[in-house]
Amino acid sequence: MSSIPPGPAERGQDPSVGELLSVVTSDVQTLFRQEVELAKAEVRQEAAKAGKAAGMYGGAGFGGYMVLLFLSLAAVLGLANVMDGGWAALIVAAVWAVVAAVLYQRGRTRMRTVSPKPEQTVESLKEDAEWARHPTK
């Protein structure tokens, strides 16, 4: 036998306001916990996407750096055949300054597309709040 006293349904009675409030409070707590878990999952998912993208950028950057280092040295040596070596190095450096500025701007634009806010959770919480204000709709 269970030591839990029978609830109003088992006794053939309607539940009291206190019992209904207890059930609603429990459901709201469960809903809130689920919303928090959804937010955590969304944040983890966005962080994982950003981390993978950053790792790929890093690997590509290093490989590109090595290629460009040697191409730059070749360009300086090639230009040094027709002009002073100092001017040749300055021209190559200026070209790289322009390339760096363009890449910085494009990277900054792409980073702005990463969403740190859990969009689905925010929308779901708005719907929950609307339902709580008008539960009969």
Mean pLDDT over each residue of the chain, to the nearest integer: 84
The pLDDT of 40-51, averaged and rounded, is: 88
Indicate the Cα dihedral angle 109, 110, 115, 120, nearest 10°: 120
Q: What CA–CA distance (Å, rounded) separates 108 from 117?
A: 18
Domain regions of the chain by residue span: 15-119
Rounded to two decimals, the pTM is: 0.41
Looking at the chain, the whole-number percentage of residues with pLDDT higher than 90 is 36
Closest Cα to residue 114, out of 62, 57, 61, 63? 57
pLDDT digits (tens, 9 = 90+) for 82-128: 999 999 999 999 999 998 999 999 999 988 888 777 778 778 878 87
Q: What CA–CA distance (Å, rounded) separates 122 from 119?
A: 5
3-7, 25-29, 37-41: segment of lowest average pLDDT: 3-7
| Position 1 confidence tier, pLDDT thresholds 50, 70, 90 | very low
